[in-house]
């Protein structure tokens, strides 16, 4: 148990977990999951406009003075008469998501013009062991007033984004710009605090140094982990598309770290990415997914998710971080993982549950195809890195 707790860390790259959900919404006609305000629309404008025109025509019709009076027609009902009744145009009707079992009807995807939204992600991991909670909370502004599939979820927003774990915490903000459903850009800044708990932080002098789990455990036993802090900037570009039930997405991240490392150390073990990284420098990451999104029959609009993920991570080292006599190469990257993705969205009913919607469970086991220590040198290749994730989102406030 002592060894297990000592090795508790943060999850393997969880960048793409919420963007996976952005594709499940389109399986039921909604907007991206991490733009909950846009999928929570209750606007049904067309029937009301048609009803107003009909009423205007009736008022402007001239009376027939010389004709034999005809019996007056009864007004059409404004509510459905029994299960088979259809409402008159212009009648006030509940949004389609509130009609049980009406998956063939979906609300407008444009959402409120102004909204306060959130997304929460809890992700435990094994190999290496970890746990992380992420929260996005902030304001979104709808860019377009058009209900077109290519524009669904389009927004600009600013988010408060805390990330916490037993070993590290990041507090910062995210700027988001999504001009279309197929593309999103995010820029995040975080102040990062390492607590010195478990076996982190650990830093080294050269990219060639040993940062295996065996070495990290020995350093923790010797009390070499320490408290420090620094800054991180993260840039994200997401491209995604969906044809019927098949979805493809690719999320690319550029991460800049600036940490105050101990002594003359220049590199550190970045536990959130399971890689040796420069204390002041860049990393590049990509998560690419091919997914099948299968909507399930029933009033909950549940979705089954199955597919595959490929993850690549590459740190970049300046020449000055190498020690005298080191070969000037990159012994760390790129790292590459490949494995299946399985998930289940329990319900997607933004009108009925606007503040808690799309709870989704994901399982992502990834086998290390290329890794300095997890392909047999320190950890058996057959042992995958497994990430579990529970994600949900909601709209706390909205105004058109």
Question: How large is the average pLDDT for residues 213-230?
Answer: 95
Question: How large is the average pLDDT for residues 365-391?
Answer: 97
**Beta partners for residue 284, in sequence order:** 254, 314
pLDDT tens digits for 267-301?
999 999 999 999 999 999 999 999 999 999 999 99
In this prediction the pTM is 0.75
Which tokens sit at 206? Answer: 């050269």
- Alpha-carbon distance 252 to 314, whole Å? 11
pLDDT tops 50 at residue 372: yes
Torsion of CA 237, 251, 162, 2, to 10 degrees: -150
The residue with greater pLDDT, 25 or 323, is 323
Burial of 271 (0-12, 13-18, 19+ CB in 10 A): buried
- Domain spanning 2-41+103-399 has what CATH number? 2.40.160.40
pLDDT tops 60 at residue 31: no
Q: What is the pLDDT of residue 400?
A: 87
- Alpha-carbon distance 395 to 400, whole Å? 13
Q: What is the pLDDT of residue 20?
A: 56
Burial of 101 (0-12, 13-18, 19+ CB in 10 A): exposed
pLDDT tops 60 at residue 13: no
Q: What is the pLDDT of residue 152?
A: 86
The least confident of 20-29, 40-49, 141-150, 301-310 is 40-49
The string of DSSP letters for 9-36 reads: BPPS--TTHHHHHHHHGGGGT---TT-H
- Mean pLDDT over each residue of the chain, to the nearest integer: 81
- Alpha-carbon distance 57 to 82, whole Å? 28
In which band, very low, low, confident or very high, does the pLDDT at 22 lie, cut at 50, 70 and 90?
low
Domain regions of the chain by residue span? 2-41+103-399
- Alpha-carbon distance 333 to 283, whole Å? 10
The residue with greater pLDDT, 233 or 2, is 233
- Alpha-carbon distance 325 to 310, whole Å? 35
Which tokens sit at 154? Answer: 């389009």
The least confident of 73-82, 134-143, 171-180 is 73-82
Question: How large is the average pLDDT for residues 92-99?
Answer: 39
Torsion of CA 253, 256, 260, 263, to 10 degrees: 90
């Amino acid at each position: 148990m002592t060894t297990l707790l000592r090795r508790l860390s943060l999850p393997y790259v969880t960048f793409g977990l919420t963007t996976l959900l952005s594709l499940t919404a389109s399986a039921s006609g909604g907007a991206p999951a991490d733009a909950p305000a846009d999928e929570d629309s209750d606007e049904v404008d067309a029937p009301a406009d048609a009803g107003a025109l009909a009423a205007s025509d009736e008022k402007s019709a001239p009376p027939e003075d010389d004709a034999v009076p005809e019996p007056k027609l009864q007004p059409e009902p404004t509510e459905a008469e029994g299960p088979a009744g259809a409402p008159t145009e212009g009648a006030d009707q509940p949004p389609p998501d509130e009609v049980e079992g009406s998956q063939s009807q979906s609300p407008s995807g444009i959402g409120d013009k102004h909204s306060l939204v959130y997304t929460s992600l809890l992700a435990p991991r094994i190999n290496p062991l970890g746990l992380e909670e992420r929260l996005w909370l902030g304001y979104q502004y709808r860019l377009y007033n058009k209900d077109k599939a290519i524009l669904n979820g389009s927004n600009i927003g600013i988010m408060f984004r805390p990330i916490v774990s037993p070993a590290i915490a990041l507090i910062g903000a995210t700027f988001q710009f999504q001009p279309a459903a197929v593309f999103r850009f995010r820029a995040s800044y975080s102040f990062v605090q390492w607590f010195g708990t478990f076996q982190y932080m650990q830093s080294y002098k050269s990219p060639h140094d040993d940062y295996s789990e065996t070495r990290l455990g020995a350093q923790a036993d010797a009390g070499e982990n320490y408290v420090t802090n620094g800054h991180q900037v993260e840039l994200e570009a997401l491209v995604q598309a969906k044809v019927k039930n098949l979805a493809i997405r690719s999320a690319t991240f550029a991460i800049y770290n600036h940490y105050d490392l101990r002594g003359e150390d220049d590199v550190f073990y970045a536990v959130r990415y399971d890689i040796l990284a420069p204390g002041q420098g860049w990393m590049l990451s990509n998560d690419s997914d091919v997914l099948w999104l299968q909507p399930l029959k029933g009033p909950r609009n549940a979705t089954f998710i199955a597919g595959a993920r490929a993850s690549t991570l590459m740190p970049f080292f300046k020449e000055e971080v190498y020690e005298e006599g080191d070969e000037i190469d990159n012994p760390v990257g790129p790292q590459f993982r490949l494995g299946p993705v399985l998930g289940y969205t329990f319900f997607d009913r933004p009108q009925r549950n606007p503040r808690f919607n799309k709870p989704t469970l994901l399982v992502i086991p990834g086998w290390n195809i290329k890794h300095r220590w997890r392909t047999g040198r320190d950890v058996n290749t057959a042992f995958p890195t497994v990430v579990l994730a529970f994600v949900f989102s909601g709209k706390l406030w909205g105004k058109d």
